[in-house]
């Protein structure tokens, strides 16, 4: 099982998602982000910057993330983290926002689609369980696989770059830990658990 660390900004939704069942069993470490040091990560394979973390603290620790990547490790960045401000080569693309997708039982308004059906995450979850809403998208990145994207504008909602500054970057504009920890949107819980199972067994690239 891969060693996974998650960053905790101390919010109620982080505390619920990272320190309590059912997700806490997946983490070898939960690190309070103001106290993050590179030495904390020597025995960690995968570091998750969880949804809606403190952008101020992320920017303070930006160099640590690149040291981690340079060691051939995997950085996972979830939604609502202003990734375009601190990740090289990441460009945000504004997309329409429908907060109430999760109540659209017929999925008539869903405007995203799977763009890489062979991606291994889909062994753990189906696409319908990945739909609640998303927070904008990203321009396609050279060398990255776009896994989920906007149907019309072709901006990526979930990407995987296995050759990113010495390591691997998984980036998404989905925010499952925020919604699970806020006790609403059941699909966010389904996705987070499946995503963590995938990460725990994922082949590492070093």
Spatial separation of the C-alpha atoms in residues 112 and 135, rounded to whole Å: 12
173 occurs within a structural domain: yes
| pLDDT of 101 over the 70 cut | no
Helix (H) or strand (E) holding 156: strand 156-164
Give the phi and the psi of residue 80 in degrees, each rounded to 5.
65, 40
Question: Tell me, what's the pLDDT at 134?
Answer: 80
57 occurs within a structural domain: yes
Listed range (26-30, 81-85, 176-180) with the worst mean pLDDT: 176-180
Percent of the chain with pLDDT over 90: 75
> 3-state DSSP call for residue 5?
strand
Query: Quick one: which of 59, 67, 52, 63 has its CA closest to 173?
Result: 52
Name the pLDDT band for 7 (thresholds 50, 70, 90). Answer: very high
Structure letter (DSSP) for residue 203: P
Yes or no: say if 8 and 16 are a contact pair by the CB < 8 Å rule. no
92 occurs within a structural domain: yes
**95: its two tokens:** 């997309």
pLDDT tens-digit map of 113-168:
899 999 999 999 998 888 777 888 999 999 999 999 988 889 999 999 999 999 99
Instruction: Residue count of the chain, please give it.
Output: 206
Spatial separation of the C-alpha atoms in residues 199 and 76, rounded to whole Å: 10
146 occurs within a structural domain: yes
Half-sphere exposure of 30 (CA within 13 A, CB side): 16
Find the CATH number of the domain harbouring 131.
3.40.50.880
206 occurs within a structural domain: no
Question: Tell me, what's the pLDDT at 105?
Answer: 57
Question: Tell me, what's the pLDDT at 66?
Answer: 98
Mean pLDDT across 40-69: 98
Q: Provide the domain limits for residue 48.
A: 4-201
Beta bridge partners of residue 30, listed in sequence order:
6
21 occurs within a structural domain: yes
Residue bearing tokens 């490790």: 73
State the total domains in the chain. 1
> What does pLDDT average to over the chain?
92
Judge residue 20's burial from the number of C-beta atoms within 10 Å of its C-beta, 0-12 exposed, 13-18 middle, 19 or more buried.
exposed
Name the pLDDT band for 182 (thresholds 50, 70, 90). Answer: confident
| pLDDT of 33 over the 80 cut | yes
| pLDDT of 102 over the 80 cut | no
110 occurs within a structural domain: yes
Identify the sign of the CA torsion 23, 24, 28, 30: positive
């Amino acid at each position: 099982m891969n060693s996974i660390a998650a960053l905790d900004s101390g919010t109620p939704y982080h505390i619920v998602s990272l320190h309590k069942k059912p997700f806490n069993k997946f983490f070898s470490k939960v690190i309070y982000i103001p106290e993050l040091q590179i030495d904390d990560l020597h025995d960690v394979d995968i570091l998750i910057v969880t949804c809606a973390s403190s952008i101020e603290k992320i920017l303070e620790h930006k160099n640590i993330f690149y040291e981690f990547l340079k060691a051939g490790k995997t950085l996972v960045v979830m939604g609502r983290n202003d990734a375009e401000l601190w990740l090289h080569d990441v460009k945000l693309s504004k997309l329409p926002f429908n907060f109430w997708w999760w109540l659209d039982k017929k999925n008539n308004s869903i405007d995203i689609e799977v763009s890489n059906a062979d991606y291994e995450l889909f062994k753990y979850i189906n696409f319908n369980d990945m739909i609640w809403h998303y927070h904008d998208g990203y321009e396609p990145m050279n060398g990255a696989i776009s896994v989920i994207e906007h149907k019309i504008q072709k901006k990526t909602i979930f990407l995987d770059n296995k050759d990113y500054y010495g390591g691997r970057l998984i980036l998404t504009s989905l925010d499952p830990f925020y919604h699970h920890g806020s006790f609403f949107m059941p699909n966010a819980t389904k996705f987070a658990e499946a995503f963590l199972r995938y990460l725990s067994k994922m082949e590492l690239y070093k």
